[in-house]
Amino acid sequence: MIKTLYIFIIGLLTSYSTFGKSVEDKSVIVFSLDILKLFDQSRQREIPIAIYKPKTNIIEKQKVVIFSHGYGQNKGGDYLAYSYLTEFLASKGYFVVSIQHELSTDSLLPLTGNPQIVRRPFWERGADNILFVIKELQKTNPDLDYKHITLIGHSNGGDMTALFPQKYPNVVEKIITLDNRRMLLPKTKKVKVYSLRSSDQPADEGVLPTEGEVKKYRMKIVKLANTTHNEMDDNANNEQRKEIQNYTITFLND
């Protein structure tokens, strides 16, 4: 089914149903996936997004999850490369939006120099994308629960996720990073911070909190002994997927 949607520009909206694999699990919610393109006039920037939302179930004050993908060298389509997690969260009743942060016309992510300096503009742009998407959702889906927004991001997307509450405070309730390695996790009691760490890639100095800071700010940092950095997207095997799904849903329910 194809229909036209106007959000500053005409976006293509494709809708189809996805069903939970376990028919016996009554907690699984049937959801649809809408793929469309937003346009931020202030920055003259296209922002492709994928929205996972209930197809038939009506959920009052549905909580929002915004997902940001890892670096994909501008090839496109990376916002759909974490389906094991985005679809799982949608099946559990969350309104999930996955953002495509990289466009083919963008500059490639710098691989030399101090990452916290040379990559900062890319994280800033990602944070701006996230804020724009939230504002658009408030216009098109005013009944969602905007007091309990959670950001999730992997790698470079985790870095922009970590930056967001520091650049835009009092907008989101929680952040969950999947092995962000460059941007310092926020140290504040105004946002709940969770992070899943890979078994193979260390974070830059200062990115992760000390044990004292974890306790002070009630952060939760978990190392996944059997999952590498590059196995946190759809490359993850079934056991890795289940572990990440279980931690994520536990964090969301915390």
What pLDDT does 60 receive?
Answer: 86
What pLDDT does 58 receive?
Answer: 74
Report how many domains make up the chain: 1
pLDDT tens for 19-59 read: 333 333 446 889 999 999 999 999 999 999 999 998 876 78
CATH of the domain at 88: 3.40.50.1820
What pLDDT does 11 receive?
Answer: 36
90: enclosing H helix or E strand? helix 83-91
Residue ranges making up the domain that contains 158:
2-253
What pLDDT does 57 receive?
Answer: 66
| pLDDT, mean of residues 146-175 | 98
* Cα-Cα-Cα-Cα dihedral sign, residues 104, 203, 87, 151: negative
How far apart, in whole angstroms, are the C-alpha atoms of residue 89 and residue 84?
9
pLDDT tens for 50-107 read: 999 988 767 889 999 999 999 999 999 999 999 999 999 999 999 999 999 999 999 9
Q: Where are the beta strands (DSSP E) in 124-249?
A: 145-154, 174-178, 192-197, 220-223
pLDDT tens for 229-240 read: 999 999 999 999
